[in-house]
Amino acid sequence: MTVEPVRIQLATALVAAQCRGRVIFEFSLGPYGGYGRADVADIQINTLDGYEIKTKTDSLKRLLRQAEAYSRVFDRCYAVVAPNHLKNTLTAVPDWWGVWVLGPQLELVRPGQVAPCGSGRLLMHILWKTEILMLLRQLGEKPDRNSTMSKLYQQLSPALNFKYRPRRMDTTEDLHDLRAVVRWVLLRRQNKPDVKLGQTVARWPEESAVLAPWPLRPEAAVPPRHAA
């Protein structure tokens, strides 16, 4: 079995369990996939979950590095593996990772738990420049669209209660506000760039995304869906 049928099987199960949200294939963990890609990402109002798939013929050699990247970005992480990989996967990924086993029906072997920490830097790198500019305006800032991405990250981070460190991967700071805003943006992200960076297979109807409230300031007006 190749990865693609497993993605479809997993996406079908996720869509059946969640009436709202987005399921995206090949979800980029940074600019143009430079930090890797998640096989499947499940985006909901309250959680961003990542799924790494390993079929019977796949190798686990990259799993440790992939687990490190996933753990810095997602709220919860899952490995979806063929039975022959189960034993090694349970010892390779962190204890808080969830594990599913492939079969005619997916079987949950270990539930996933919320990530104990994350990387604010990588979470910001998920967002596109137009999205960073939109967020700054939403927060009352006046960004310069000609600024470098690093300067925009440094401008945005104080409003989200953490300090952007260009050379630091991990942080134990509270990333609650940043995580909430990233999910809010991803639920509104337009599909056209996904042709290169990922394939959206399930999403909210156009009008439903507006129902996801702005997570930081309830009194602030939610920008239009197509705002830059």
Q: Residue 31 half-sphere exposure, CB side, CA atoms within 13 Å?
A: 5
Residue 102: helix, strand or coil by DSSP?
coil
**What's the pLDDT band for 16 if we cut at 50, 70, 90?**
confident
Whether residue 51 lies inside any domain: the answer is no
Say what the pLDDT of residue 219 is: 39
How far is 49 from 55, CA to CA, in rounded Å?
20
* Residue 206 predicted with pLDDT over 90: no
- H/E run at residue 200: strand 199-202
How far is 66 from 104, CA to CA, in rounded Å?
26
Whether residue 147 lies inside any domain: the answer is yes
Residue 159's domain comprises 120-188
Domain count for the chain, please give it. 1
How far is 74 from 80, CA to CA, in rounded Å?
15
Token match 């979806």: residue?
80
Say what the pLDDT of residue 97 is: 96
* Residue 226 predicted with pLDDT over 50: no
Question: Among 126, 127, 150, which residue's Cα sits nearest to residue 138?
Answer: 127
* Entry pTM: 0.82
Whether residue 145 lies inside any domain: the answer is yes
Whether residue 86 lies inside any domain: the answer is no
Whether residue 176 lies inside any domain: the answer is yes
Q: How open is the CA angle 189-194-198, to the nearest 5 degrees?
A: 115
Whether residue 208 lies inside any domain: the answer is no
Q: Which phi and psi angles does 216 have, rounded to 5°?
A: -105, -40
- Strands 76-81, 98-101: pairing is parallel
Span 106-120, mean pLDDT? 90
Whether residue 161 lies inside any domain: the answer is yes
Question: Among 46, 35, 33, which residue's Cα sits nearest to residue 75?
Answer: 46
**What's the pLDDT band for 224 if we cut at 50, 70, 90?**
very low
Structure tokens at 78: 């899952």
Span 118-123, mean pLDDT? 85
How far is 182 from 135, CA to CA, in rounded Å?
10
How far is 103 from 88, CA to CA, in rounded Å?
18
Say what the pLDDT of residue 193 is: 38
Say what the pLDDT of residue 161 is: 72
Say what the pLDDT of residue 133 is: 93
Whether residue 173 lies inside any domain: the answer is yes
Please give the share of the chain, as a percent, with pLDDT higher than 70. Answer: 75
**What's the pLDDT band for 168 if we cut at 50, 70, 90?**
low
Length of the chain counted residue by residue:
228
- H/E run at residue 81: strand 76-81
Say what the pLDDT of residue 220 is: 40
